[in-house]
A and B are shown apart, each in its own frame.
Chain A
Amino acid sequence: MPRNLFRCWIRVRGVTLPLFSLAFNLSKNLPTKMTGTDQSSFLGRISIRRNQVNAMEGYHEQEIEDLELFQKQLSDRFAELLSAPDDAPTEAFLSISWIRKLVDVFLCCETECKAILLMERDAAQISKPPLDRLIPELLERVVKAMDICNAVTNGLELVRHCQKLAEIAVSALEQKPFGEGQARRAKKALVSLMSAMHVDDKESSVQKTAERSWSFGRRSGNKDRHHGHYRSLSWQVAKHWSASKQIHAMTMNLAAPRGPEASCLPAPVYILSLIIVFVMWVLIAAIPCQERSGLTTHLPINKHVNWTHSLASIHDKIGEEWKKKEKKGMAGLLYEMQKMEKLGQSLIEFTDSYQFPGEKEKLDEVAAQVAELAEVCRRMDEGLVPLQMLIREAFHRLVRNRTEFLDVLEQGGPVV
């Protein structure tokens, strides 16, 4: 079996590195400890194994073992994600830091899947059926995922806008003594926050609001213009683009391999596909983006294999939440946004009826809420930009992933 030397090299963050340094680089760059060490040893193992058994019998058994190890790691990672508390000041389920962890898991998984699929492998194997169909399908999903990354990046801008408005409210509410002027200031910011949050992601309304200009008559009751600019065209990925339709298209033909295929190359292709779809689905559910109505709550997860248990539980949990909240029209399931919405609502009520100097008891209660809101703002301030960067990195990774697969396909002869 001809083995090309180049496949001992692998591209990491845009740089081509020999394998032995890959392990080091990955563990250095990975933001979460949870995955770093595991991964480097895993990749090292594959490469050593592949080098040792190249000429030997029993190659297939080794591959099965690699795959099992990989699935075990996936299972552990998703179990850890599932174990996040529902409501906690930090690291809560669907919080910014949780989503960062999820994207990290995706990045690790992507590297490992690619290692299993491409490292030391003869290109001809990749271009044989059924892979000649599965890989192009995977690449279509990859392209769709790139657009979703961009949509989510736009959505995070809206979240940051909410953060800014909440910060104004916090700084007004923290004033001592707290007068009616500050109450009005806080209310104004909170009302803007609420309408920014309940931005309708449907295209029709995007167009409608885009047409609405800033030229308003004074006092024309146009109280929500404060966030008008976030409803403009910049919000869009493309005309008629729909996040939920993309997810739907990505789940087409996504079926777990059965029988003997389940233990060979179709398996990692399925795993990678499923994880891409799953992660994109979570991002769309959590972060506002263009046209999410009708977002499916069903993903074709094969529940008969061990590693998907935690993933399926996470999926069910988020799906339930989505069903509950979807009809209300909302900014997404992001923990911080949910928290912000609740606190904002309650603080609007407070500012509505506030009369100077207010009752001590009520003021203390509000002070606690304000502190909570300030904490949410702080977490957003810390986490949103890194999350945006991480999603950008995922985007670049998908681009590179596609190029690498295309290169191999090209080598393997005429496919597609």
Chain B
Amino acid sequence: MDECQSAIPAHDGDLHVVAAAHHIVKALGTTKNLSDDLRKILIDLDAHLSLITSNIDSKGGKGFVEVEERLKRVERKIVIWESDRIMIWDSGPKEASDYLEAVDEVQTLIDSLRGLSMNENQKQKELLHRASSLLQMAMSRLEEELIHMLVKHKQQSEPTYIPSPSSQRNVVYNESVVSLDNESAKEASSKNSCSDECGEYIVDLVPEHVIPDIKSIAKVMFASDYGQEFCEAFIGVRKEALEQHFDILENGKLSIEDLLKMEWCSLSTEMNKWTWSMKIIFGVYLMSEKRLCDQVLGEFGSVNSFCFLEIAKTTILCLLNFGEAIAMGPQEPEKLLRLLDMYETLADLVIDIDALFSEDGGSFVRLEFHKLLEGLADSVKAAFNAFGVAVSSNGSLYPFPGGGVHPLSKYVMNYISMFPEYCSTLNLLLEDQHSDVASLVSEPQCGPTASLSTSCPMACHLRSITSSLESNLHKKSKLYKDEALQHIFLMNNLHYMVQKVKGSELRPFFGDEWIRKHNAKFQQHEMNYERVTWSSVVLLLKDDNPGSSSLSKSTFKEMCKGFSIAFEEVYKNQTSWCIPDPQLREDLRISTSLKVVHAYRTFLGRNPAHVDDKCIKHTVEDVEKLLFGLFEGSPRSLRNSRRMMKT
């Protein structure tokens, strides 16, 4: 256009040239199948040529008649909508494109009028003024249309396939080591993972067919230098939409002060919500928002990333601050799994975050999340260490009744059986503390059988935790006055640990060597129990003179009595003891039975002459049956059980 301006004809003769050119342009304009760009150029050229003509005319006093006519035409088209309550884009595509065309025309007229030298021409000034006012009217209208369009379609595009966090939230392991004195250790909960289900999932925040309409408004508004207004309106609606989505995810807004004071149960729920929200907000909504921004604003350069950042900022800050509050809080052992969830979620998302906010303006967001990731890593380590400390320092004042499986063993074993799901993360985070722990739990016999899984940092830490648990159990066993019960207690708990390792994902991290060793350990306690309890009892049946064929009646009677008293004592005590594992209980009864019943039967067999009811309180069968009543955890006196057996 600029070249045209300098070519405003001075001579009347040129008027013909202009008229001819105008004619050609008009003729070309009627051609069908023109590209949009070309048509626009022709329209512009047409407008300009007619202006030149009228400018020359004006010297002759006729004025800008044609321009005024055109302005009046578009004025009618634009003003008519001002009194209408119906939105243009709701009325139909024809109305919309007519309106956009009219706005284009106003813009063209303004450009052309500006392009002409003013020459103190009052008419020209007046026309330009009218056109600018008209443009303002149209722009204001387009802004309203835009907001209306965005709001209307936003509401229709609520994604329905995203399950609510409550259905996703799995059982939470809310137990704490401190509150273990009652038998309440829950069975394991599974990891709160949903990365497979959602991942990165881009949705249409605005239906596909509306995008060209939004874009057409963007184009016109930017072309007329109303880009700022467009951005403010666009940001406003999209920002609110994002915040509504955030609200739907049930993120109650909480201050740091509230979070630091919160009970663990509620906090755990909040941590789960955060993990879930991060995945949805970044993986779905921000990804989709970015695409929407790219689609609408892609051709307007840095405006695109600016708008995206403005839309996302407050929601992001909210998520960020929650993370900060958690990372600064005291890291109790029970927080470990939730912290691991948070860490893993963020670790998975940082690449996306870096990509979403790759521009300079977003460097702040990138930096903050990297910082938060570091903070969460520290928190995981701190909670892991706190867990180790809690395991070794958990103390009891009284012996655990019955010598069964201690809640601490249950808690620890169930808790660590969830660690393998976080294996790679834990290996990464525990790496730097690895060497200290590895030397503590190194197993020299590992040698050729040592595999990668038993030597990774997590495996070493796991074994270090179970060895703390063992020493703590030893401490706890000392609370029993009865040595036999100490062995039952240790046998039970070690057996429980081995079973837990064998029956879970923990197995590869502990290795067969560990299992063998610990099998041997609990079997040792089993043997020790038998020795401590029964050796002295069996000894009562031992013949001092193995040479002679039989005992005197009185000696026999004495020995029988002694055995009965000792046996009844054991029975009274040990029926209240507990071996929760049926197999282990059975094994121990059988091996006890073998030893005791065998000795008793031999004793009686060798003295057939004295065997009568008066001497013998318990028959061999009685003893055998009674032995099978041990370790049920319910104390019985022999009198009852005898009566019971007789009936």
Contacts and interface: CB of A to CB of B under 8 A. Distances in A.
Interface string A171-206: 100010101111011001100000000000000000
A232 B240 contact: yes
Given A226-B236, A237-B253, A181 B147 contact: no
Interface stretch (A160-168, A269-277, A279-287): A160-168
A127 interface: no
Interface stretch (B313-321, B492-500, B601-609): B313-321
Interface string B147-167: 110011001000000000000
Contacts of A188: 140
Contact of A215 (B133, B134, B155, B243): B155
A236 interface: yes
B135 A234 contact: no
Contacts of A147: 255-257
B254 A214 contact: no
Given A180-B133, A181-B132, A238-B255, A154 B364 contact: no
Contacts of A180: 129, 132-133
A162 to B, nearest CB: 11
Nearest to A213: B151
A358 B151 CA distance: 39
A66 interface: no
Interface in B555-601: none
Contact of B317 (A14, A150, A241, A357): A150
Nearest to A14: B371
Which secondary structure dominates chain B's binding surface? helix
A232 B245 CA distance: 13
Contacts, number: 119
A403 B328 contact: yes
Contact of A234 (B85, B256, B315): B315
A175 B148 CA distance: 29
A111 interface: no
Contacts of A402: 328
Interface in B249-303: 252-258, 260
A239 interface: yes
Contacts of A219: 85
Contacts of B252: 238-239
A59 interface: no
Interface in B118-138: 125, 128-129, 132-137
A181 B236 contact: no
A392 B367 CA distance: 12
Contacts of B132: 175, 179-182
Nearest to A395: B324
B239 A241 contact: no
A218 interface: yes
A247 to B, nearest CB: 13
Contact of A214 (B85, B147, B231): B147
A235 to B, nearest CB: 8
B139 interface: yes
Contacts of B232: 164-165, 168, 226
A217 B152 CA distance: 11
A150 B321 contact: yes
B237 to A, nearest CB: 6
A184 B136 contact: yes
A178 B139 CA distance: 17
A146 interface: yes
B183 interface: no
A226 B233 CA distance: 7
B373 to A, nearest CB: 13
B512 interface: no
A181 B137 contact: yes
A157 B310 CA distance: 9
A229 B155 contact: no
B85 to A, nearest CB: 5
A290 to B, nearest CB: 10
A228 interface: yes
Contacts of B364: 389, 392
A218 B240 contact: no
A79 interface: no
Contacts of A238: 252-255, 258
A399 B372 CA distance: 12
A143 interface: yes
A184 B243 contact: no
A229 B253 contact: no
B131 to A, nearest CB: 8
* Best-surrounded residue of B85, B228, B235, B252 (most CB of chain A within 10 A): B228
A399 B324 contact: yes
B483 interface: no
A143 B321 contact: no
B230 to A, nearest CB: 11
A357 B118 CA distance: 15
A146 B228 contact: no
Nearest to B151: A214
A143 B256 CA distance: 7
Contacts of B318: 234
A157 B313 contact: yes
A376 B343 CA distance: 43
Interface in A320-372: 356-357
A234 B243 contact: yes
A117 to B, nearest CB: 19
Nearest to A219: B85
Given A153-B317, A171-B228, A219-B85, 6 more contacts: A146-B257, A180-B133, A185-B139, A215-B151, A218-B85, A233-B253
Interface of A: 14, 143-144, 146-147, 150, 153-154, 157, 164-165, 167-168, 171, 175, 177, 179-182, 184-185, 188-189, 213-215, 217-219, 225-229, 232-234, 236-239, 241, 356-357, 389, 392, 395-396, 399, 402-403
A-B interface, 7 closest residue pairs, ranked by CB to CB distance from nearest: A181-B136, A181-B133, A234-B314, A214-B151, A238-B255, A181-B132, A229-B236
24 contacts: A144-B257, A153-B317, A157-B313, A164-B231, A164-B232, A177-B128, A179-B128, A181-B129, A181-B133, A181-B136, A189-B229, A215-B151, A218-B85, A218-B86, A225-B147, A228-B236, A229-B235, A229-B243, A234-B318, A238-B258, A239-B253, A392-B368, A399-B328, A402-B328
